[in-house]
Amino acid sequence: MGSIGSVTLVGAGSGGWDLITVRGLRALSQASVVVYDNLIDRRLLRFAVNAVELVYAGKRPGKHAMTQDEINSILVDRALKGHRVVRLKGGDPLTFGRGEEECDYVARMGIPCSIIPGVTSYNAAAARIGLPLAGREAASNFIVTTGVRAGGARLDRDSISKIIGSAHTAVFLMSTRILETIVEEAGRKHGMPPPVLAVSKLGYPDEQIVWPDRFASERPPKIEPPSVIFVGGSVRWLEKRRGYYRLV
């Protein structure tokens, strides 16, 4: 391959392989190299029909297949060799996905880079349970945050309290380690049971949906990552409809 290639960041969606966009699926089918994350549905890889190389670059808590610098280097190296590279990322590349870091690095190396959005974990989880992130009856605004900051620092109690207090619906990603504090602050601001609803392992066989009454019990359940935690008005709205509001 003599000419320079390209890099496309593709959001694979969350909760199932078929939540990827048509545009993302087209890019995947045309790729000659695919660099993929841990949280994608592996069935997506069967659509990489023209790929000559599949590179696993997954990251799990405390266990990374490769560093971010190594991922960046692979993207550039393969593109400079003329490959059409797809960086397949769980959820959406620009929602706590480091997509901006990767595309910025690639672009600074003079390589064409584009981004195809994907269904985020919180969008997919909200749709799974019928929870409106914002709506006329439920909530007029929502805030999405992560429980882990750059360098591994966790969101502190004061920050959690402010987020819950300023949003009709607060959405916490990557926050299982601070769940207890989220529940405590939600109960303090909104009363008991705390308006906290968690969706764990969305789309997996062991998917778990935990309602507010479980968090109010003496022995609240343990939530496994990956998870999405919802707090606030939308949870109260959905809880009132729990008896008849069923989605599949």
* Residues noted as catalytic: 37, 59, 174
User: Please, are residues 139 and 231 in contact by the beta-carbon 8 Å criterion?
Assistant: no
User: Please, are residues 221 and 118 in contact by the beta-carbon 8 Å criterion?
Assistant: no
- 213-221, long-range: CB within 8 Å, 24+ apart, which pairs? 215/183, 216/187, 216/192, 220/183
User: Please, are residues 22 and 34 in contact by the beta-carbon 8 Å criterion?
Assistant: no
Neighbours of 198 (CB within 10 A): 27
Edge-first strand order for the sheet with 142-146 is 142-146, 169-173, 227-232, 196-200, 208-210
User: Please, are residues 14 and 203 in contact by the beta-carbon 8 Å criterion?
Assistant: yes
- Which of 52, 18, 19, 21 lies closest to 34 in space, CA to CA? 52
